Amino acid sequence: MRRALALPVAAMLAACGTEPLHAPELPVVEQYTPAPVAARTAGANVAGGQEQVFASGADIPAQWWTLFRSPALDRLVREALEASPTLARAQAKLRQAEEDLNARADTATLPKVDAKLSANRVDIPAGAFGRPGLPIATPLNLYLATVSVSYTLDLFGATRNELASLRSAVDYERYEVEAARLMLAGNVVTTAIREASLRSQIDDTAQIIALEERQLAIAERMELAGGAARADVVSQRADLARTRALLPELERSLQQARHRLAVYTGRPPSAPGLPEFTLSDLQLPAEIPVSLPSALARQRPDIRAAEALLQEAGARVGVATANLYPQLTLSANAGSLATNASNLFNSGSGFYLLGASLAQPLFHGGELEAKRRSAVAAYDQAAAAYRETVLAGLQNVADALRALEADASKLKERADAAARASDFERIASARYDAGGVSRVALLDAQRKVRSARLEQAQAVADRYADSAALLQALGGGWWNEEAKGPAGSPKQAGR
Q: What is the mean pLDDT of each run of 10 residues along the chain (495 residues)?
A: 45 46 79 90 91 92 94 96 94 95 82 84 66 66 84 83 92 96 96 96 94 89 79 87 94 96 94 92 93 91 95 92 85 82 74 79 80 92 94 95 95 95 92 84 91 94 96 92 48 38
Q: What is the pLDDT of residue 111?
A: 81
Sequence-distant (6+) residues with CB within 8 A of 203 are none
Q: Measured between alpha carbons, how far is 464 from 331 in angstroms, rounded to an integer?
A: 67
Question: Using CB atoms within 10 A of its CB, is residue 488 exposed (0-12), middle (13-18) or buried (19+)?
Answer: exposed
* Torsions phi, psi for 356 (to 5 deg): -145, 145
Cα 43 versus chain centre, distance: 33
Please spell the DSSP secondary structure of 351-398, one letter per residue.
Answer: EEEEEEEEE-----TTHHHHHHHHHHHHHHHHHHHHHHHHHHHHHHHH
Span 238-283, pLDDT tens digits: 989 999 999 999 999 999 999 999 999 999 999 888 999 999 999 9
The confidence score (pLDDT) of residue 419 equals: 94
CA torsion angle for 151, 152, 158, 163 (degrees, to 10)?
-10
Nearest to 417 by CA among 451, 391, 368, 452: 452
DSSP secondary structure string, 121-161? EE---GGGGT-S--SS-SSEEEEEEEEEEEEEE-SSSHHHH
Q: Is residue 344 classed as helix, strand or coil in its secondary structure? A: coil
- The whole-model pTM stands at 0.82
**In the chain, where the domains are located:** 2-108+158-324+370-482
* Category of 493 on φ-ψ map: left (φ > 0), alpha (ψ -120 to 50) or beta: beta
Distance CA 44, CA 485 (A): 42
CATH, range 2-108+158-324+370-482: 1.20.1600.10
Interatomic CA distance for residues 257 and 261, integer angstroms: 6
CA–CA dist 279, 198 (Å, integer): 10
CA separation for the pair 353, 487 (Å, rounded): 55
What pLDDT, on a 0 to 100 scale, did the predictor assign at position 210?
Answer: 93
Is the separation of the CB atoms in 408 and 466 below 8 Å? no
Helix/strand/coil for 34 = coil
Cα Rg of the chain (Å, integer)? 37
Please tell me the distance from the alpha carbon of residue 285 to that of residue 432, in angstroms, as a whole number.
42
CA gap 410, 99 in Å, rounded: 53
The total of other beta-carbon atoms located within 10 Å of residue 353's CB is 11
- pLDDT confidence of residue 7: 39
